[in-house]
Structure 1
Amino acid sequence: MTSQIWTLTGVLIGALTSYFSVMLTERSKHRREMAIRWDQRKLDTYIEYAACVKEVADFARRSHRVEEGSRAHGELVAAMEASERRRSAQFEGLVLLAAPPVIEAAHEVNLTVRQMLERVRGHEPPRESYGFTGRLNAYHERVREDLGIRTRSWPVI
């Protein structure tokens, strides 16, 4: 009888050990899958935001090259305003998903884009530089840091 108890105890310990190891492995696998999913969502959000920002800036720059009051100018300004609304919506998603340094860098980009827009809306001539490229590069750097992408081997453009 005693040998049967030891055998049953050994089987029970083996079953519990197997159960807990499978449970821990599955939990770890689930966490990795969730991290990958959220990183992909963050990357998509970061890219969409940057694309909207560049689109708004491009429309703002182009609007200064056409005659003010012309049909082409009106179309560019309307397209710029539509892009600006999308940029604003994209920024809200970014705020929900991003790390604080990314949000701060995006705020700086937003300030620069707003300066560009205000000059277009006020029919003022464009400035030589708004600092847009530098701030967008800083945003890209913060995004890479947030996603854990090493940047030392990459040249800064």
Structure 2
Amino acid sequence: MIGVAVGAVGSYAASALTERSRWRRARAERWDEQRFHTYAAYANTLKGQIRTAQRIAASRGFENVVDPLEPEHGLEQLAEAESKRAAEWESMLLVGDADAISSARGWHEAVWNMELYARGIKSDPAGWTRALQQMSEARDVFYACARRDLGISGPPPPPGNWPRNWQEESAQ
């Protein structure tokens, strides 16, 4: 009788531990997937904001961007893009790890600096080029942090330096 009781307790304990381990694995997979979607949505939203700022800046005569967008049309789009980014930011704060959140903040602050040129608040062409470079570097840091948090192995994507080599060559 004691053997049966010990066997039953052992069987129950093994089942409970196995089930608990399975539940933890499933929860970790759900959060990994959620973080991936959050990081991707944030990056895509911010990319739209960047593109709009670049197009407006092109209409103001700044280099390294084609397809100008007149400020009277673009500034409204830029405000909408910022609203979308701010909404996505809340998801980042909920599911991102500290490094990814910090790097995402650095990236969107670099984009805000670009927006100052698009809005006509800043007008220095050399400053515009630096702003593009800073935004690109901040983007690279974000992707490195997000990939690390998601456990993606291998080297990060190549840097997206601005202006691109082919743009500098065509300007000469």
Give the TM-score of the pair, scaled to structure 1: 0.85
1:119 Cα deviation after fit: 2.2
2:10 maps to which residue? 17
Q: Does 1:47 align with 2:40?
A: yes
1:54 Cα deviation after fit: 0.8
Aligned residues: 147
Map Cα deviations across residues 65-100 of structure 1 (whole Å, 9 max, x no partner). Answer: 2379xx943222211111111111111210121111
1:52 Cα deviation after fit: 1.0
1:156 maps to which residue? 158
**Other structure's SS at 1:65 match:** helix
Gaps of 5+ in 1: 1-7
Gaps of 5+ in 2: 62-68, 160-172
2:141 maps to which residue? 138
The CA RMSD over aligned residues, in Å, is: 1.9
Q: In terms of mean alpha carbon deviation, does 116-125 or 18-27 score higher?
A: 116-125
Q: Rg larger in 1 or in 2? A: 1
Quick one: distance in 2 between partners of 1:28 and 1:95? 27
1:128 Cα deviation after fit: 1.5
1:41 Cα deviation after fit: 0.7
Map Cα deviations across residues 32-62 of structure 1 (whole Å, 9 max, x no partner). Answer: 0000001111111100110111110100000
2:130 maps to which residue? 129
Give the TM-score of the pair, scaled to structure 2: 0.78
Equivalent pairs: percent with the same residue? Answer: 29
